[in-house]
Structure 1
Amino acid sequence: MKKTLLAQALSVIFLGAAIALPAHAGEAELLQRIEKLAAELESIKAELAAARKKTEVVEQKQEALASTVAAAGATGATNGNPAGNASGTASWAQSTVVSSYGEINYTRPRNSTADTQADVARAVIGISHRFDAKTKMVAEFEWEHAVTSASDKGESEVEQLYVEHELNNGMRIKGGLFLMPVGLINTNHEPTAYHGVQRNFVETSIIPSTWREAGIGLSRTHDNGLTWDLGITTGFDLSKWDAASTEGADSPLASIHQEGQLAKAHDLSLHAALNWRGIPGLLLGGSVFSGKAGHATTDFAANDARVTLWDLHARYTPGLWDLSTVYTRGTISNTDALNLTFIGQPTPVPSSFFGWYGQAAYQLRKNDQYTFTPFARYEIFNTARSYSLVPLGLGIAPHEDEKVTTVGASLKVGEGVIFKADYQKFKLDSSRDRLNLGVGYSF
């Protein structure tokens, strides 16, 4: 029986690892999360020790109480008692894991030394607590740009805060503030998990990583490698659009993201994602998000506006190669009347925006302590591909597609520290060409 309990416990751990660890994560991330699962294994060991003591007592009285023990064990199992003890009280030990990641970057534009800067881009502390075998809480707290105050550009924010429970059929349900399952970076955005000093433009300017919403989500992973996610959450608030600033031109959705901060919730949004990992090293997936963004705001000209964003993504890691691509497109409908109120302003609301990239990386040198990985990425994106119609002569021309080529390399030290360097060349605006240096960590 001791061996059976141990085998069951180890099976739970390894099955949990197979489900919880996305195949598209890098080697460092897999090892880091395995280390976290080790903490849960220690909890299971404590549970097994308690179960063994109870088993020894039962075995001593087995001959006299065989029928009673059998009945009690059946009752305990029916009530979800993991140890199968007669009282029906679970002996699962609770566990808490602390994690963190952060990055510091240096940027030097080719044609403007005055804009050269260093930035503590972000520092994040994560806390997860497992209440029992099926229920956990996940939280992440982030600080951006080093200093947060009324006169500084820094931010302090809750990046994630949700509880998740696994149902008996393997389905997982969660509620709270959680990341949207879109693209490749949004749910796996530690600096050790992506190539380049900064996150790519497609998954920041079009997909507003790191993008989270408050709501309820369902997910399940099947034996054939298929994972699906469904949910209903808060969405965007188009009444926040500032046509006099450039925020919407930098990232349409980031400028109207609510981030769980007193979020308007009259209009809720739906999302769905499908990912397949049936072949080792291969990830194929896609997602869609859609919801109205007016929220019945008084005297607002676009209460019927709807935001829709979808993406297709793939990642393949054969041997020492890491190949990935993402295509995404977004639309904001029913903005005609709203844009009439913005005539003369530099940034009306676009009706469509899109982006895609292709990326290749290769582990050129690797030993027990260091991994050196050069990479190259080519991306095209446009934050204002089209606008809704306005009277002739009063509209603004759509933007041209920006094309960015990034080449660089990273040096991982151990499994949790990374040094990065890259150079980025912009097709439309060469004044943005720049050298980037960075250091990051995650554990």
Structure 2
Amino acid sequence: MSKKIQLLTTFFCLTVFLGFTQTQTDSITFIPQTQLNAAQRILSGNYGSAVTVSAYAEMLYNQPEGDNGELDVQRMVLLFGYRFNDKTQFVTEVELEHVNEVFIEQAFVNYNVGNNISLRGGLMLVPMGIVNEFHEPTTFNGTERPATDNVIVPTTWRELGIGATGRFNEISLGYQVYVFNGFKSTEADGAGGISGFLKGSNGLRSGRQKGIQSTVNSPTFSTKLDYYGIPGLRVGLSGYFGKTQAADEIEDIEGANIGISMIGLDARYAYQRFTARGQFIHASLSDTDKYNALTGKDLGSALQGYYVEAAYNLLPLTKKQRLFAFTRFEKFNTHADTDGALIANKAYERTDVTTGLNYHIAPGVVVKADYQFRSNASDVDTKDMLNFGIGVWF
């Protein structure tokens, strides 16, 4: 029996097991208009105390076709909140990745000015797409986050900044407006040359500064609008605009920085046992030809990705549990366009089809299983992937 058949057989067996196992319900809402992420739950005062503690975690098994599988505690995230008074709160998020890496994912002060506005400052999530803000394991289908939210939107994307957020419930509109430091593009390599952080295979991802002694010269602007006036539907429009950052000694060298204009459109919908979501992200990058000439990298001048997903709860609405069967189709390309002499690498034009089950077995606990059919536009073979996972959030 081939390894691919073995993988599919294992996946089918787990599907049958999940379909006949039932326990208690998951408490996380599936209504897009009222969905909160971990930080928002703390800020909303749901816990009713000055000091609040929350956490989420993911334990995964990934097996590429023909290869050995890998078991990993992919992330364990601890959230702490403190309410100084009715207007002022602090939220921080400490992430342990793969057991041996520690990061601060968020750390910001929120000051509630009035009914429609709160001011924020610190290390915060950039509001682009869905998963960058809503990445707790019980809030999305699939063992792994969508690839578009890894390669095009470099989740988890967070930077230091200040801004404002709020809602106008009379017109069903939420907003976020921030000024952040930007991606780091270049630095001196110590040998008389210049190293570049941005590249064709993963676009902007390696340029995230994550609040680690971040270089800032030209602040960037980020905004998002969320409309929730139609029952069951939530639509978001995001924008991110500015330039990258370079170290002082090379800031004025031609090609040390590039310009970034990124827009995103996303939607989530839920009706009874059916849910759907979709997302489109496009980033236009300027001066990439000069950047590539300076650093020897292969950064494209445009990044683009989208996905559409549908899911159906296989259990009756009278049951407190949820068993979602889902399929997600996504295409993403970090060489959607190139400048100068750079020829687009077809291996960077990728397609993933993911299908599987999410079984919410108890409040804040989900068991996941899926199979990913992966391909690209080149002649280079990519390996399909079998994934299992357990996610918790409390």
The TM tier, using the shorter chain, reads: 0.7 to 0.9
CA distance in 2, matches of 1:166, 1:277: 22
Indicate the structure (1 or 2) with the bigger Cα radius of gyration.
1
CA distance in 2, matches of 1:183, 1:338: 27
**How far 1:39 moved relative to its partner?**
2.8
Contact preservation (8 Å) 2:33, 2:233: no
Contact preservation (8 Å) 2:186, 2:247: no
Residue of structure 2 aligned with 1:159, choices 94, 99, 105: 105
Contact preservation (8 Å) 2:216, 2:245: no
Please tell me whether residue 24 in structure 1 is matched to residue 27 in structure 2.
no
Contact preservation (8 Å) 1:241, 1:256: no
Structure 1 partner of 2:216? 265
**How far 1:265 moved relative to its partner?**
1.0
Please tell me whether residue 195 in structure 1 is matched to residue 176 in structure 2.
no
**How far 1:382 moved relative to its partner?**
0.6
Residue of structure 1 aligned with 2:293, choices 324, 340, 343: 340
Any residues of structure 2 matched to 1:309-348 within 5 Å, and which? Answer: 309-343=262-296, 347-348=297-298
Any residues of structure 2 matched to 1:351-366 within 5 Å, and which? Answer: 351-365=301-315
Q: Deviations over 1:47-78 (max 9, x none)?
A: xxxxxxxxxxxxxxxxxxxxxxxxxxxxxxxx
Residue of structure 1 aligned with 2:54, choices 77, 96, 99: 99
CA distance in 2, matches of 1:382, 1:175: 33
Any residues of structure 2 matched to 1:83-98 within 5 Å, and which? Answer: 95-98=50-53
Contact preservation (8 Å) 2:186, 2:195: no
Residue of structure 2 aligned with 1:419, choices 357, 360, 367: 367
- Residue range with higher mean Cα deviation, 430-439 or 301-310: 301-310
Per the alignment, in what secondary structure is the counterpart of residue 123 of structure 1?
A: strand
**How far 1:308 moved relative to its partner?**
2.1
Contact preservation (8 Å) 1:112, 1:431: no
Per the alignment, in what secondary structure is the counterpart of residue 340 of structure 1?
A: helix
CA distance in 1, matches of 2:324, 2:103: 32
**How far 1:241 moved relative to its partner?**
11
**How far 1:130 moved relative to its partner?**
1.2
Any residues of structure 2 matched to 1:32-51 within 5 Å, and which? Answer: 33=41, 37-40=45-48
Amino acid at match of 2:217: H
Number of aligned pairs?
353
CA distance in 2, matches of 1:169, 1:372: 38
**How far 1:96 moved relative to its partner?**
1.1
Structure 1 partner of 2:161? 215
Contact preservation (8 Å) 1:236, 1:307: no
Amino acid at match of 1:230: V
Any residues of structure 2 matched to 1:32-431 within 5 Å, and which? Answer: 33=41, 37-40=45-48, 95-113=50-68, 116-147=69-100, 155-168=101-114, 170-223=116-169, 224-239=171-186, 248-295=199-246, 297-299=248-250, 300-343=253-296, 347-365=297-315, 370-390=321-341, 395-399=342-346, 401-428=349-376, 430-431=381-382
Structure 1 partner of 2:391? 440
CA distance in 2, matches of 1:388, 1:126: 43
TM-score by length of 2: 0.83
**How far 1:284 moved relative to its partner?**
0.9
CA distance in 2, matches of 1:295, 1:109: 37
The runs of 5 or more residues in structure 1 that have no matched partner are 1-20, 44-94, 148-154
Amino acid at match of 2:325: P
Higher RCO (C-alpha under 8 Å, 6+ residues apart):
2
Amino acid at match of 2:249: T
Q: Which aligned segments of 4 or more residues in structure 1 are displaced greater than 4 angstroms?
A: 25-30, 32-36, 240-247, 366-369
Contact preservation (8 Å) 2:328, 2:354: yes
Amino acid at match of 1:333: S
Q: Could you say if the C-alpha distance between residues 180 and 241 of structure 1 is closer, same or farther in structure 2, counting changes exceeding 3 Å? A: farther
Amino acid at match of 1:352: A
Q: Could you say if the C-alpha distance between residues 38 and 331 of structure 1 is closer, same or farther in structure 2, counting changes exceeding 3 Å? A: closer
Amino acid at match of 1:104: M
Contact preservation (8 Å) 1:23, 1:283: no
CA distance in 1, matches of 2:34, 2:227: 17
Q: Deviations over 1:316-360 (max 9, x none)?
A: 1011111100000112211222212345xxx41211111000000
Q: Could you say if the C-alpha distance between residues 178 and 246 of structure 1 is closer, same or farther in structure 2, counting changes exceeding 3 Å? A: closer
**How far 1:247 moved relative to its partner?**
7.7
The runs of 5 or more residues in structure 2 that have no matched partner are 1-28
Contact preservation (8 Å) 1:317, 1:323: yes
**How far 1:162 moved relative to its partner?**
0.2
Q: Could you say if the C-alpha distance between residues 169 and 195 of structure 1 is closer, same or farther in structure 2, counting changes exceeding 3 Å? A: closer
CA distance in 2, matches of 1:26, 1:371: 18
Contact preservation (8 Å) 1:268, 1:291: yes
Contact preservation (8 Å) 1:125, 1:142: yes
Q: Which has the larger strand fraction? A: 2
Identity of matched residues, % = 30
Q: Could you say if the C-alpha distance between residues 247 and 101 of structure 1 is closer, same or farther in structure 2, counting changes exceeding 3 Å? A: farther
**How far 1:240 moved relative to its partner?**
5.7
Amino acid at match of 1:329: H
Q: Could you say if the C-alpha distance between residues 195 and 389 of structure 1 is closer, same or farther in structure 2, counting changes exceeding 3 Å? A: same
**How far 1:398 moved relative to its partner?**
3.6
Contact preservation (8 Å) 2:108, 2:122: yes
Contact preservation (8 Å) 1:409, 1:421: yes
